[in-house]
Chains A and B, each alone.
Chain A
């Protein structure tokens, strides 16, 4: 279930479906941004079956990567 892929919003129209182009690397797909009403161009979202599920939180992503680095520092490694 539930393949969700992170992409960056390029543009959004003002139709009821709030369709917008989202870049997944260099592949671009038109999806609905109806469930992320605050998200505009530049925002990162996770898309599933043609609908953005929510915005990605860059600070949380950084915090996770950081926590892994600390894990390595206090462990003896693999």
Chain B
């Protein structure tokens, strides 16, 4: 595939890795913000190409990881209602709420369906006027325009049986929270390329300046990630702290204006809870009052449902690179990939799940 294969070239990857090795003089911790980037790092084994000085911290940029337990519980409550068709991206089906996940509710008779796009859920609402169709609108800024478009179009068509359960988060406030932590470990960020394709790069300038941290907007193919790492390491070694754009073939400084207009029309900035991290001010999107009729939380009266995170789960610390998975007492005992307590064990790229996979083949160690 064009724009894919040429960015997976092994020779170029090795020369980038060589350049990183030649540049680095001391240990640096880089956080790749987006779960899609983590996925590529795991899938292509990119960490093996890096010198030992570079450690990658897998950031919180994955709706699987950060959607709060309360919202999962609300989703489960809505999905269990008779007459509801509950649509979701495949990602969210195995994410546990307080007690169970969407697949469990489905096994008791709920009509839970995987869709590729919120527009598919909208089409289903058109076809099934006899049913309430609810879409689980999770995601970061990247997914917000698609969800906003579905709501705007539902309004245009007067579709009264369509609503969304919103769990939208924004990246910059989360980075601010990570940087403001007194135990901050992150030296530089690889910012999420597709988030920036929508939002542009301007909102990262104050972060880089205030915290003196390099931020490199980075794509998702192996060469993108390695080049992003090289650019970040060069900044660190030279003492610079700038916002740079590695992913220039897609990301413009101003982002995508029509997409931003859609978001602004339908959503407003709100405070949000992040699973494992807690409340972060202004870190999410909620539906504007004008679109309150499409808010599944209101329509089904589930907004008061508040789930609790497992008190044994320390995924928030893991997400920030402050705790290693094996240092958590629940790891591998009460928390496993088939029965996860928290986000970092749910997502197959989550730090805990990755550690768990590899641990099987390590020599047995004293507990």
Contacts and interface: CB of A to CB of B under 8 A. Distances in A.
Quick check: do A and B touch in the complex, using CB within 8 A?
Answer: yes
7 A-B pairs with least C-beta separation = A50-B117, A6-B3, A78-B14, A51-B146, A72-B15, A2-B194, A60-B249
Interface residues of B, number: 53
Interface string B1-36: 111101000011011111100100000000000111
12 contacts: A1-B62, A6-B3, A16-B156, A24-B1, A34-B262, A35-B145, A37-B258, A44-B3, A50-B120, A53-B198, A60-B248, A71-B15
Interface in B315-349: none
B198 A4 contact: no
B16 A1 contact: no
B258 A78 contact: no
A28 interface: no
Contact of B119 (A17, A75, A76): A17
Interface stretch (B77-85, B136-144, B291-299, B301-309): B136-144
A34 B250 contact: no
A32 B258 contact: no
Interface residues of A, number: 42
Nearest to B12: A68
* Interface SS of chain B: helix
B89 interface: yes
A24 B4 CA distance: 10
A4 B63 CA distance: 15
Nearest to A59: B249
Interface string A17-39: 10000001100010110111100
A43 interface: no
Contacts of B240: none
B61 interface: yes
Contacts of B192: 1-2
B310 interface: no
A2 B140 contact: yes
Interface in A39-62: 44, 46, 48-51, 53-54, 56-58, 60-61
A2 B249 contact: no
A4 B142 CA distance: 9
B119 A32 contact: yes
B140 A77 contact: no
A35 B259 contact: yes
> A2, A3, A25, A72 — which one has the most chain B CB atoms within 10 A of its CB?
A2
Given A4-B36, A4-B142, A6-B2, 11 more contacts: A1-B35, A1-B61, A1-B192, A3-B36, A49-B118, A53-B142, A53-B197, A53-B250, A60-B249, A76-B22, A78-B17
Contact of B194 (A17, A25, A35, A53): A53
B265 interface: no
Contacts of A6: 1-4
B250 A46 contact: yes
A5 B6 CA distance: 14
A11 to B, nearest CB: 17
